[in-house]
Structures are given as structure tokens and as C-alpha cells.
Structure 1
């Protein structure tokens, strides 16, 4: 009976940690999920080493999963912008917008091709664009070049703090 009460308390604690994760955003999610999994595993096995191992492994897996999801979402935004840049002429302004299947982090903005850069390697365009999310509006300037009939960023991706310095 006592074991059942301990398990119920552990599950309530895990539920509270999950709620705290949702409220605090994704930054604390790996730590809280690892803590909940490690605490539960340690309690069920009565072995702190097992609990610690489960906590570290769960935290690493959760962190890697969230990073993958964010990179994929950011890549979608970057592809939406570069696709439009390839169709635009110098001086032309267009809007861009990305709506994700899970409506968190949808983004939009405007872009303008500011100049054409002709060089012997590949034609390039300099593009200024904004990214507007709920609270902020950010301005960026970068270069896109054409290779094999498709437009690509001249850098790996725009290296900006919002996109995690992916360059």
C-alpha cells in the first residue's frame, strides 16, 4: 500500500514538472523530463545509479529531439525565403510567411532584393528581409547565389541568434 502511495506521489510530481515545462517554454524541458524520468527510475529500482543514468540519457535524448525539431522548423522558414528570392527582381519587395503544422513559432516578414551581384562563378542577389514573430521584428541582410538552377544561401544558413548561429 505504501509503495502505491509513493508511486502516486511520483506521478503527481512528474505531472507538475510537465506542467512547469509547458509554462516555462522549451528551454527547461530536457532538464525537467530527465529529472522526472531519473527520479522515477531511481525510485522504482531503489538504485541511484540507475536513476542518474536514466536522467542523463533522457535529458540528452530530449535535448537532441528538441534541437532537431527547431532546426527543421527554421529550415522551413529559410527555404520559404530563398524560394521567393530566386523569383524576385532587384528592387522588388514581397511578403513571406510560414505556417507550421503545429501552430507554434509561425513566422512571417517582408523581403527585398537590394542588388544583383554578377561574378564569374555564379549570379548572386543581396537580400534584406525581416522576420516578425509575435513580439519582435528583426532585420537581416544576406546573400543568395544560384547553382545548378536553384538558389541557395551564400552562407550555410543566415547566421543569426534567432536561428541558433547555424552557420
Structure 2
């Protein structure tokens, strides 16, 4: 029993240190490691512990991906709505503020041109993402496209967004 408690305590310490040093990408690994050590200690069977650890890590990684994709989608929708409401040549700020301070963002949107494709009316625009809230904070600029459907303006380009949001579009 003492050996199991020692193993669980060690797993807790490792998990705490990993969470403090890492970001969201380490959540799945930490959860999987803690689950593996705890299950292996309780069942005295390391194979069961490894299996549970792998399953917990996969589930936690998927949950983080879904949440991150949703938060990035909020930013894309805010930028698309701002660009869709502007006349060509105009500039307006955009901002997303979530209840939790994760993936908040702000910057400017500038509509460059409007054009008709075979399927929809589209717009090309530039948007900035300002790093931080301090005056004079650096801004990165990206170019993207939106197209209008029956529900409003929707994000239409993948490549410019890859630099900002990775492959989680």
C-alpha cells in the first residue's frame, strides 16, 4: 500500500511540474502519465496502466484540439463579420474576448477589394493581430478572403490563416 501511495505522489509531483512548465499541448501527456501511474499502482498491472494512460492522453489531446479550434473559430468569425460590414477601402478594429483569458485577440481589418466568383460575392481583406494590450504593441498582418452566403460572410481562405492559427482552421 505504501508503494502505491508513493507512486501516486510521484505522479502528482511530475504532473504539477509538467503543467507549470508546459502549455496546453502538455495537458494530454500529463493526464495520460498520471492515469497510467495511478492505474498501474492500484491494479499492480503496468499493462493496464499503460493502456489507460494512452486512452486518457488521446481523449485529453482531442478535447484540447476541439476547444482550441472553437476559440480560433471565434476569432475568424469576428474578423469575417467585421470585414463583411465594411465598405471597400475602410478600416475598423476587431476584438474577441472570451470568458476565460484564452485565445483573446484584437487588431484591425481593412477591406482591400470585392469580387464576384462563380458561386458567391467575395472580399479580400488584410487583418492585423496585435500582440498584447500595451500601446505600441507589435502587430502582424495577414491577407485572407471571405465570401457571402445566405447566413452572412464566412471565412474562405486557408493559406493566410495557417500562419496565424496553424492547421486548426
Q: Give TM-score scaled by structure 1 length.
A: 0.87
Contact 2:15 2:30 (C-alpha < 8 Å) held by counterparts: yes
Does 1:86 find its partner at 2:84? yes
Q: Which moved more, 1:143-152 or 1:79-88?
A: 143-152
Match in the other structure for 2:28? 30
Match in the other structure for 2:67? 69
Q: How many residues align?
A: 165
Match in the other structure for 1:143? 145
Q: Secondary structure at the match of 1:39?
A: helix
Task: Structure 2 unaligned segments of length 5 or more: list them.
Answer: none
Q: Distance in 2 between matches of 1:21 and 1:115?
A: 45
Aligned alpha-carbon RMSD (Å): 2.2
Larger RCO, structures 1/2 (Cα 8 Å, 6+ apart):
2
Contact 2:127 2:143 (C-alpha < 8 Å) held by counterparts: yes
Task: Structure 1 unaligned segments of length 5 or more: list them.
Answer: none
Match in the other structure for 1:39? 37
Contact 2:84 2:153 (C-alpha < 8 Å) held by counterparts: yes
Contact 1:105 1:133 (C-alpha < 8 Å) held by counterparts: no
Q: Distance in 2 between matches of 1:9 and 1:51?
A: 12
Q: Which moved more, 1:121-130 or 1:71-80?
A: 121-130
Q: Give TM-score scaled by structure 2 length.
A: 0.86
Q: Distance in 2 between matches of 1:94 and 1:60?
A: 41
Contact 2:96 2:105 (C-alpha < 8 Å) held by counterparts: yes
How far 1:162 moved relative to its partner?
3.2
Picking from 158, 161, 164, the partner of 1:162 is: 164
How far 1:9 moved relative to its partner?
5.0
List structure 1 runs of 4+ shifted beyond 6 angstroms: none
Q: Distance in 1 between matches of 2:151 and 2:53?
A: 48
